[in-house]
Amino acid sequence: MGTNSPYSSSLGVLPHIHERHHENFFSFKGRTQLWADKYNDSEGRLLTAGDYGSVPTNTTHTFQLLDPDTELVGVIVPGGFEDLFYFLGNANVSYATQTPFVPADVSDSAGSGSSATIISELESFDVYAQLSFTPRRDFVNGTAPANATWHDGSSTIPSVAGTPYFLASGWGPKYLTGKYGAWQIVQPFVTPTTGEHDFTQCTITLSRQPANVSLPSWNLTDHTALQVLEGGLKVEVGNETATLIGGDVVFIPGGTAFKYQSVAASSKVMYVGAGDAGLDQQLLKSARSWEYVSFPTYWP
Ligand SMILES: [Cu+2]
């Protein structure tokens, strides 16, 4: 789910927890402050493009949007949580002027209404307000507490489920495979463990397909979604072909054959898949640990 907002001088939503939903914040553009508090550890990060934050169940969290054109991609598992946004939204709108969003710096507080009625209504959407939570404001270089590693060293993924964590763009684990022709670099956000075997998420950076290697056809048991972040992706699903550019999404139902290739020298996509045996896990089987966000200078 993509959400785009202008900046605001206040929180974008009341501090809250979800008892049943694992919320995943991916910063598509602009700046977002995200707070996550669990197990007596209260952390805040400034997310810029490509950064990721994991908010598992029963984590108190809130966020604030800081730039005029701030866009998040939320993956909320299990499905159905989008009903909250239909409830909060005023209308299904489109503009004859061809603007995708209202061209004004308005930021209402639809998500942060504090009346008792709204708060109790939100509970039916698995949103439980935590009104006593005060987000810490002692950020230094994008992190609170100030001594956390953030854009100045490796980001790591916990080896257990349930703990909130943050990954700075390019600073997390990276794996390289050339088994299917093009180089592909997998940067995991959510592993089978941290996704509790319900879903996984990563980015995949891919080179062009070498001319002498035929494009593999995939057919995965579970659903797959790809969103283009950089470059462009040519995708064949069943007998449809489309070329996707930045922001475009393809959804591939489980049991459907598909092929994909980069139409640029380097393209980057975000992958989200159901289950724990999706495209990322298939690529990782042949991948080796890799230090860089770009590929080798020779073909696989
Ligand atoms: Cu939430």
Average pLDDT of span 227-245:
97
Pairwise pLDDT comparison (284 vs 119), residue with the higher score: 284
Sequence-ordered list of residues with C-beta below 8 angstroms from that of 26, at least 6 positions apart, any chain: 51, 52, 72, 73, 74, 75, 189, 201, 270
Q: Output the CA 23–ligand 1 centroid distance in Å.
A: 6
Q: Tokens 């990563």 sit at which residue?
A: 202
Question: In this predicted structure, what is the pLDDT of residue 243?
Answer: 98
Provide the whole-model pTM: 0.94
Among the listed residues 18, 21, 22, 223, the single catalytic one is 18
Cβ atoms within 10 A of the Cβ of 159, count? 9
H or E, element range at 189: strand 184-190
Q: Output the CA 105–ligand 1 centroid distance in Å.
A: 23
Among the listed residues 16, 21, 22, 223, the single catalytic one is 16
Concerning whether 18 is annotated as a catalytic residue, the answer is: yes
Among the listed residues 21, 22, 43, 61, the single catalytic one is 61
Question: In this predicted structure, what is the pLDDT of residue 114?
Answer: 59
Average pLDDT of span 31-52:
98
Concerning whether 197 is annotated as a catalytic residue, the answer is: no
Q: Output the CA 16–ligand 1 centroid distance in Å.
A: 6
Phi, psi for residue 82 in degrees, rounded to 5 = -60, -20
Three-state SS for 79? coil
In the predicted structure, residue 95 carries a pLDDT above the cut 80: no
Q: Output the CA 284–ligand 1 centroid distance in Å.
A: 30
- Whether the CB-CB separation of 269 and 233 falls below 8 Å is answered with yes
Q: How far apart are CA 61 and CA 135, in angstroms?
A: 9
Question: In this predicted structure, what is the pLDDT of residue 110?
Answer: 46
Question: In this predicted structure, what is the pLDDT of residue 93?
Answer: 75
Average pLDDT of span 44-69:
97
The separation between CA 292 and the C-alpha centre of its own chain, rounded to angstroms, equals 20
Q: Output the CA 258–ligand 1 centroid distance in Å.
A: 33
Band of residue 113 on the pLDDT scale cut at 50, 70, 90: low
Average pLDDT of span 93-97:
77
Q: Output the CA 214–ligand 1 centroid distance in Å.
A: 43
Average pLDDT of span 133-141:
96
Average pLDDT of span 115-123:
81
Question: In this predicted structure, what is the pLDDT of residue 108?
Answer: 58
Concerning whether 151 is annotated as a catalytic residue, the answer is: no
| Joined tokens for residue 280 | 């990322």
Vertex 127 angle, CA 125 and 131, to 5°? 150
Q: Output the CA 176–ligand 1 centroid distance in Å.
A: 33
Among the listed residues 21, 22, 23, 223, the single catalytic one is 23
Concerning whether 16 is annotated as a catalytic residue, the answer is: yes
SS (H, E, C) 265-290: CEEEEEEEEECCCCHHHHHHCCCEEC
Question: In this predicted structure, what is the pLDDT of residue 201?
Answer: 98
Average pLDDT of span 248-259:
98
